[in-house]
Amino acid sequence: MSVLLTLNAGSSSIKFSVYPAGDGAALAHGQIERIGSDEGRIEFNHGNQQTRTDVGPVDHAGALNRILDEIGTHLKRSKIIAVGHRIVHGGPDFDAPQQLTPEVMTRLAEFEPLAPLHQPHNLAGVRAAMSAFPDALQIGCFDTAFHRHHPWVNDTFALPRKYYDQGVRRYGFHGLSYDFVTGRLAEIDHHAAHGRTVVAHLGNGASMCAILDGKSIGSTMGFSALDGLPMGTRSGQLDPGVLLYLMDHEGMDSTQITNLLYKESGLLGLSGLSNDMRTLQEAGTPESEQAIAYYTFRIRRELGAMAAILGGLDTLVFCGGIGEHSTRIRAEVCKGMEWLGIQLDPAANAMHLSVISTGRATVRVIPTDEEIVIARAVRAAL
């Protein structure tokens, strides 16, 4: 049977799915999560079989090899004729999926410094897939594409204009997830699909998107995947004066600052314990509670900002690992937001129902599916 494979390398996980090349639901799917910790774990779902195996310390390269091995073992009789890749940064040029030719790969490598937790792993995944499946079509699907036509005021910084022309712009990320959620809303809630929606994608990376009539008009992430909300290990929005202070008074160079802002900050930095929300919720130390308080405070603040640019709020959607699974985080984000028409239904929230509100604005939980967005693009290319 001819099949296609999707690969979605996030900052703490690699998710994968295998679909029939023509049509139909996933034949197999799974993920390796907690990449970068000592507690990596692979989950593989095939038919009605599910296996979960601890794999110990694992990095992105090891995780990818493991996934290719598992697929080889479980799907011996399938021929992979195409591979679809989530590529976090598509820069200013790519607003739609692309075949990953050598020229496109060279262009995409230029964006590695803008997304160091993702782009190198995304491109390494492409190279690994090219060598494992040399005859397969390789398609790249970009996180930035969903935002490419957002308004200029949300695309620029207030810097001299030459920097905008050089590509110093607010790109926005998590676009495959926003694309999926927008499509899902169109299927289940016509009013929401044409209304004022804020989607909070809360995973190890986190961002929010203001969506009007199905189109991105603003996002918390900007030039790189650092801006906006605090994340597992990333700072989120930071006064640029802090960078000047670190350089001038701490003598830090760009490599040290990159490490600090991408790998040592966010929930990990504030808690001194972990980047993983499950661990923080269970820990209950004063520092982990403060980290959670800062996280939800910033989400509420950005929710107000997103509602302001939308001219109000009809629908709030939670997705991503934290958004889909943490009753507590959703409750803390919605607390005090009655002024926006948000009234949480605690019982529905605890049961992770698809609608968790009773007020004027509808609050939804939509499990995101970046893989199906990639698979649709690959099928279109095939």
Ligand X SMILES: Nc1ncnc2c1ncn2[C@@H]1O[C@H](COP(=O)(O)OP(=O)(O)O)[C@@H](O)[C@H]1O
Ligand Y SMILES: CC(=O)OP(=O)(O)O
| Annotated binding-site residue numbers for Mg(2+) | 8, 370
Which of the choices Mg ion, ligand X, ligand Y, none does residue 288 contact, using the CB cut-off of 5 to 8 A by kind?
Answer: none
Among Mg ion, ligand X, ligand Y, none, partner that 315 touches (CB below 5 to 8 angstroms by kind): none
Q: Which of 69, 143, 213, 314 is catalytic?
A: 143
> Has 369 been annotated as catalytic?
no
Q: Does 14 bind ligand Y (CB under 6 A)?
A: no
Binding residues: 8, 15, 86, 201-205, 276-278, 321-325, 370
CB of 121 to Mg ion, least distance (A): 12
Residue number with the shortest CB distance to Mg ion?
10
Structure tokens at 86: 């989530």
Exposure letters 182-196 (e unless 16+ CB within 10 A, then b): bebbeeebeebbebb
- Look up residue 119 and give its two tokens: 């782009």
Q: Which is nearer to ligand X, 303 or 322 (CB)?
A: 322
Under the binding rule (CB under 5 A), the answer on residue 323 touching Mg ion is no
Instruction: Spell 339-370 as b/e; 16+ CB within 10 A means b.
Output: ebbbebbeebbeeeeeebbeeebbbbbbebbb
Q: Is 339 helix (H, G, I), strand (E, B) or coil?
A: helix
369 lies in the site for ligand Y, by CB under 6 A: no
* Contact with ligand Y (CB under 6 A) among 173, 180, 262, 295: 173
Alpha-carbon span 357 to 315, nearest angstrom: 10
Per-residue contact flags (x/-) with ligand Y for residues 195 to 224, judged by CB under 6 A: --------xxx-------------------
Measured from the CB atom, the residue of 40 and 203 that comes closer to Mg ion is 203
- Report whether 85 contacts 125 (CB < 8 A): yes
CB of 21 to ligand Y, least distance (A): 26
Beta partners for 54? 41
Of 11, 31, 233, 326, which one interacts with ligand Y (CB under 6 A)? 11
Distances (CA, A) of 216 to 171, 204, 207, 275, 312: 11, 22, 13, 28, 15
Question: Applying CB under 6 A, which residues contact ligand X?
Answer: 10-13, 203-205, 232, 276-278, 281, 320-322, 325-326
382 to 3, 33, 169, 359: CA distances (angstroms): 11, 30, 33, 45
Cβ neighbour number for residue 310 with a 10 Å cutoff: 18
Q: Counting contacts by CB under 5 A, is residue 10 touching Mg ion?
A: yes
Task: Could you list the beta-strand ranges (E) of the chain.
Answer: 2-9, 14-20, 28-33, 40-46, 49-56, 79-87, 98-99, 137-142, 196-202, 206-212, 215-219, 315-319, 362-365
Nearer to ligand Y, 193 or 202 (CB): 202
Residue 118 or 147 with smaller CB distance to ligand X: 118
Looking at beta carbons only, is 10 or 195 nearer to ligand Y? 10
Nearer to Mg ion by Cβ, of 10 and 222: the residue is: 10
How many CB atoms sit inside 10 A of residue 90's CB? 25
* 15 in contact with ligand Y (CB under 6 A): no
Find the shortest distance in angstroms from Cβ 204 to Mg ion: 7
Please give the residue ranges that form the binding site for Mg ion (CB under 5 A): 10, 203
Report the interface residues with ligand Y, using CB under 6 A: 10-11, 88, 118, 143, 173-174, 203-205, 225
Catalytic amino acids?
143
